[in-house]
């Protein structure tokens, strides 16, 4: 069996989702920390893949839907950073397919003798204090069932498993995803389902990468652990004010209605119902800061890179 190797030793770590947000941030952090990074990509010629190669990563083609492509990527790897490839169909999330993809990676890693796998999934939602069940109980958000299945499989099959569960990314302010919420509109309006004056947890991608690097540097310390990740918890109104102050642009927050959520689709509507019932993300910021003292606040991220990125984004919309 291969044992996980700490930073600076030249160990090779396979990073999946390396051309995406979390995988890309993690690949860059690991390269900076002295690891050899092997990036699993579907298209070796994609611009994001070319950027990783220029930064020093080794590119290897692989696809979760083609399990036979995974063993060569794992040959000689000491550890794996995995991001479950989300599966969507005409009717919405396909958790069974997502879970199958995650299991394919885990099976390939185990067969290759890799002992340490760090998987980044999604933040869970706490049970409301008014509920009859214990307050410590948590549940995944809608669309998280596939990730839950992957987490269970990971703990059952990998010797040194670590699960990272990040909340909403700070970079979500830079654009709009599959639904017309979350990013900033051209006139600086941030629309979302969160109550305007209640804390809303957020995390910088760089800090997800930092926790992954900490786990790879000290596998025994993080083995078997699940970390709910956040770096700050401003209210949406406070976040809008912070962005306005950092960018010099007018920014305001607007909460969508239940009808808006219904029109945006069942996933948004279901999440809003959970929020209205009192479910919340529940990362312990104080405990996380003990592990990672450099944990970024929203203001830190804005000063570091976010404000300039937001200005560029709004200038291009």
* CATH class of residue range 12-316: alpha beta
* Two tokens, residue 5: 């190797």
Residue 298 pLDDT greater than 60, yes or no:
yes
pLDDT for residue 132:
42
Extents of the domains making up the chain: 12-316
Q: pLDDT tens for residues 8-38?
A: 357 999 999 999 999 999 999 999 999 999 9
pTM of structure: 0.91
Q: pLDDT tens for residues 56-109?
A: 999 999 999 999 999 999 999 999 999 977 777 777 778 899 999 999 999 999
pLDDT for residue 5:
44
Cα–Cα distance for residue pair 157/107, rounded to 1 Å:
8
pLDDT for residue 128:
65
DSSP 96-148: HHHHHHHHHHHHHHHHTTB-EEEEE---EEEPPTTSSS-TT-EEEPTT-HHHH
* Residue at token pair 């770590």: 13
- Of 81, 69, 147, the C-alpha closest to 108 is 69
The DSSP 8-state label assigned to residue 182 in this structure reads: S
Residue 176 pLDDT greater than 70, yes or no:
no
- Please state whether beta strands 252-255 and 189-192 pair in parallel, antiparallel, or not at all (unpaired): parallel
- When comparing pLDDT for 221 and 268, which is higher? 221
């Amino acid at each position: 069996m291969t044992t996980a190797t700490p930073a600076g030793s030249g160990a090779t770590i396979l990073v999946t989702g390396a051309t995406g947000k979390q995988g890309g941030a993690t690949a860059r952090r690991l390269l900076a920390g002295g690891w050899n990074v092997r990036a699993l990509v579907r298209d070796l010629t994609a611009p994001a893949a070319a950027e990783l190669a220029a930064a020093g990563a080794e590119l290897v083609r692989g696809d979760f839907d083609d399990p036979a492509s995974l063993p060569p990527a794992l040959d000689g790897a000491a550890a794996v950073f995995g991001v479950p490839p989300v599966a969507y169909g005409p009717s919405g999330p396909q958790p069974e397919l997502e879970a199958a993809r995650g299991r394919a990676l885990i099976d390939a890693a185990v067969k290759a003798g890799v002992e340490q796998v760090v998987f980044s999934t999604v933040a869970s939602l706490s049970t409301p204090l008014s509920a009859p069940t214990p307050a410590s109980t948590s549940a995944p958000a809608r669309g998280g069932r596939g990730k839950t299945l992957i987490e269970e499989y990971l703990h059952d099959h990998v010797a040194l498993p670590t699960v990272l569960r990040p909340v909403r990314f700070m970079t979500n302010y830079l654009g709009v995803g599959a639904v017309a919420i979350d990013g900033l509109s051209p006139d600086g309006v941030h629309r979302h389902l969160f109550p305007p004056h209640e804390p809303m947890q957020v995390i910088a991608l760089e800090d997800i990468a930092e926790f992954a690097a900490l786990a790879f540097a000290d596998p025994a310390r993080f083995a078997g652990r699940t970390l709910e990740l956040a770096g700050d918890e401003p209210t949406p109104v406070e976040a809008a004010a912070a962005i306005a102050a950092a960018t010099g642009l007018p920014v305001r927050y607007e909460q969508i209605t239940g009808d808006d959520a219904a029109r945006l689709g069942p996933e948004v509507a279901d999440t809003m119902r959970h929020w209205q019932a009192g479910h919340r993300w529940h990362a312990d910021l104080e405990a996380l800061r003990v592990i990672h003292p450099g944990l970024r606040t929203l203001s830190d991220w804005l000063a570091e890179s976010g404000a300039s990125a937001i200005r560029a984004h709004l200038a291009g919309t």
